[in-house]
């Protein structure tokens, strides 16, 4: 038994002692630690990898595309092969990582109610299709860890009272006081289920088809470590821990963000990074900003956290023409220490979450934002508050249609406003994630909403590949314009050292109409001033306010215009962004 193995075994045992401190387990902690290590492939006779602390396994080249396995389909071939074809044809020089949303057999919630964690949904393709994508792109897998489908074999066995999974699910006494439990949905928390052991009331955080696991049972933890190992073996380089904030429940608490949940993430991090230190864990915690930040731990939990407050604040900025709240939030965000980073996004398969805006926007301001999005064809999903009130949970709308206009109504600046929003996000500290329907400038899909009855379907269009090709090949289509201009921005971003996810960032004070921040590369060779006009009127920047170093040569990376007078003005058109860099012009031309 090697010293490294002994050390790791002791560390894992420490995690387990914390997790199960108040739980009686049939397996001693030391034996459980050994089983978890063996399950993920850390054997006594093998050399144990020692991860380098605070190392960044990412840089300015990293761009993640978020997509369903069947967002693009083509007759007579598997959707996952069509997705590979799309990536190879249209994203080869822009995207290097791909988050394929759950591609496993499922019963509801477009994949997030998993029936079988170990196989690929036959309607999407096979593991060979997944491997083809993983060979060329860093692949993010969803670990749907809080719940599974009520149609899974495990839940069938729970009902029968025997077999694997029969003891995997959380039940509660319906007479217990559950009023403090945080709910992201309005459906009843408990599902009454007839089983061989009598009537059981199964905990369902999200829907009655999504039955919650009981992680107090170590068998559930062991099973998920088996799943993680299976995903790593099949090409996973990033893990998205779905709805992980709800993982551990204790009646009498809010049942969210509990210490045991954080410790389970730390345990998974310890196991995964000793198998492959370059694998990245991202926590999907759609919660208020201050709570979200805790999932970094001390650089020992998530490598990256979703920047959930960014979408509502950025959309609010664009429709009001006032960046005050976005700027205040950005100033309050702590720099991510090395070994951690933010995962920035402004559109996803779900919608624009509003809980992360709580405490940042007032109820009245959220109401105005909601009304504006409804005016642009958006739908609203609701949740129940602690006091039983109905509150808006998220806005369901494509980002392209969210940018139709302002609080004053639709206008002619939709494409420019949409691109401005992405330019603001692309320059920020963190790794950018772009939803496929943002790359394509997709509009609201009302037919799909009508067919499914689900608000979220509005932003989950399934493109026919030949139709999409026709649109992308037409210079007059919104889809061609958006993909072409977004791809240009991405390529520029990837060439700048100062856009490293952990490069220094400072917020600029330029008034409510101009949103600006300064980035400096880790080696301090490059500075970039990122400034966006968030209004529908022209704005001027007095360059002396930026204190540009007069001995440097300054250039706008986007327009390629050189700055001749560092004490002069730069005029910004409505929704124009400039990236002013001290890069030499000839050096810039070579980088392009």
Any long-range contacts for 415-418 (C-beta under 8 Å, 24+ apart)? 415/441, 415/478, 415/481, 415/482, 415/485, 416/573, 416/574, 416/575, 416/576, 417/318, 417/575, 418/482
What is d(CA 252, CA 209) in angstroms, rounded to the nearest whole number?
24
- Token reading at 269: 């991090």
Contact present, 313 and 295 (Cβ < 8 Å): no
Collapsed DSSP state (helix, strand, coil) of residue 326: helix
Strands 280-284 and 236-242: parallel
Closest CA to 243 of 117, 142, 106, 349: 142
Which residues carry out catalysis? 242
Give every CB contact of residue 245 below 8 A, 6+ residues apart in sequence: 256, 257, 261, 283, 285, 286, 287, 291, 295
b/e map 51-69, b = 16+ CB within 10 Å: beeeebbbebebbbbbbbb
DSSP structure string for 14-78: HHHHHHTTTS--SS-HHHHHHHHHHHHT--TTSPPP-PPTT-----TT--EEEE-TTSEE-TTS-
Instruction: Tell the residue number behind the tokens 């706008």, with chain if given.
Output: 556
Closest CA to 512 of 533, 491, 481: 533
Phi, psi dihedral angles at 30 (to 5 degrees): -60, -40
- Token reading at 236: 């996973």
- Token reading at 422: 């992405």
For the four alpha carbons of 68, 74, 80 and 83, in that order, the dihedral sign comes to negative
What is d(CA 543, CA 35) in angstroms, rounded to the nearest whole number?
62
Contact present, 112 and 454 (Cβ < 8 Å): no
Closest CA to 115 of 147, 149, 143: 149
> Cβ-count burial of 275 within 10 angstroms (0-12 exposed, 13-18 middle, 19+ buried)?
middle
Residues in the chain, total: 592
What is d(CA 424, CA 514) in angstroms, rounded to the nearest whole number?
11
| Cα end-to-end span (Å), the chain | 53
């Amino acid at each position: 038994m090697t010293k490294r193995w002994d050390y790791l075994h002791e560390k894992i045992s420490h995690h387990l002692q914390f997790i199960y401190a108040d739980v009686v387990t049939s397996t001693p902690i030391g034996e459980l630690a050994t089983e978890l290590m063996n399950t993920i492939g850390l054997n006594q006779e093998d050399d144990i990898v020692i991860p380098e602390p605070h190392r960044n396994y990412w840089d300015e080249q990293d761009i993640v595309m978020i997509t369903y396995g069947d967002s693009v389909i083509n007759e007579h071939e598997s959707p996952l092969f069509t997705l590979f074809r799309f990536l190879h044809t249209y994203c080869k020089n822009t995207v290097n990582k791909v988050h394929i949303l759950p591609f496993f057999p499922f019963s509801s919630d477009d994949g997030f109610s998993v029936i079988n964690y170990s196989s690929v949904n036959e309607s999407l393709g096979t593991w060979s299709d997944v491997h083809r994508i993983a060979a060329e792109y860093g692949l993010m897998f969803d670990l749907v860890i809080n719940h599974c489908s009520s149609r899974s074999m495990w839940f069938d066995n729970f009902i029968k009272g025997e077999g694997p999974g029969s003891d995997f699910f959380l039940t509660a006494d319906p007479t217990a006081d559950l009023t403090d439990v945080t709910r992201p949905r309005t459906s009843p928390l408990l599902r009454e289920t007839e089983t061989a052991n009598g009537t059981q009331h199964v905990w369902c955080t999200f829907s009655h088809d999504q039955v919650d696991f009981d992680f107090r049972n170590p068998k559930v933890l062991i099973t998920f470590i088996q799943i993680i190992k299976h995903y790593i073996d099949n090409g996973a380089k990033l893990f998205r821990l779905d709805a992980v904030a709800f993982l551990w429940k204790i009646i009498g608490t809010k049942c969210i963000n509990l210490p045991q949940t954080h410790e389970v993430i730390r345990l998974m991090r310890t196991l995964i990074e000793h198998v492959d230190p370059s694998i990245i864990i991202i926590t999907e915690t759609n919660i208020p900003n201050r709570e979200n930040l805790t999932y970094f731990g001390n650089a020992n939990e998530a490598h990256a956290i979703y920047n959930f407050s960014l979408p509502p604040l950025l959309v609010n900025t664009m429709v009001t023409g006032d960046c005050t709240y976005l700027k205040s939030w950005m100033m309050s965000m702590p720099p991510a220490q090395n070994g951690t980073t933010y995962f920035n996004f402004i559109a996803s398969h779900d919608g624009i979450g509003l809980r992360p805006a709580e405490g940042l926007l007032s109820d009245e301001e959220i109401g105005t934002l909601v009304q504006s999005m409804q005016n642009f064809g958006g739908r609203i999903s609701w949740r129940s508050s602690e006091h039983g009130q109905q509150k808006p949970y998220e806005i369901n709308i494509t980002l392209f249609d969210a940018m139709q206009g302002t609080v004053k109504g639709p206008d002619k600046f939709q494409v420019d406003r949409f691109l401005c929003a992405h330019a603001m996000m692309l320059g920020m500290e963190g790794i950018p994630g772009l939803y496929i329907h943002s790359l394509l400038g997709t509009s609201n899909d009302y037919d799909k909403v009508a067919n499914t009855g689900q608000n979220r379907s509005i932003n989950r269009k399934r493109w026919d590949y030949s139709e999409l090709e026709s649109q992308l090949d037409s210079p007059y289509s919104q889809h061609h314009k958006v993909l072409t201009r977004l791809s240009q921005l991405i390529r520029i971003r990837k060439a700048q050292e100062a856009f490293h996810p952990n490069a220094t960032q400072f917020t600029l004070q330029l008034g409510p109409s101009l949103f600006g921040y300064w980035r400096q590369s880790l080696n301090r060779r490059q500075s970039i001033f990122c400034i966006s006009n968030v209004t529908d009127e022209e704005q001027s920047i007095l360059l002396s306010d930026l204190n540009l170093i007069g001995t440097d040569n300054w250039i706008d990376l986007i327009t390629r215009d050189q700055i001749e007078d560092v004490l002069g003005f730069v005029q910004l058109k409505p929704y124009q962004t400039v990236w002013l860099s001290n890069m030499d012009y000839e050096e810039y031309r070579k980088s392009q």
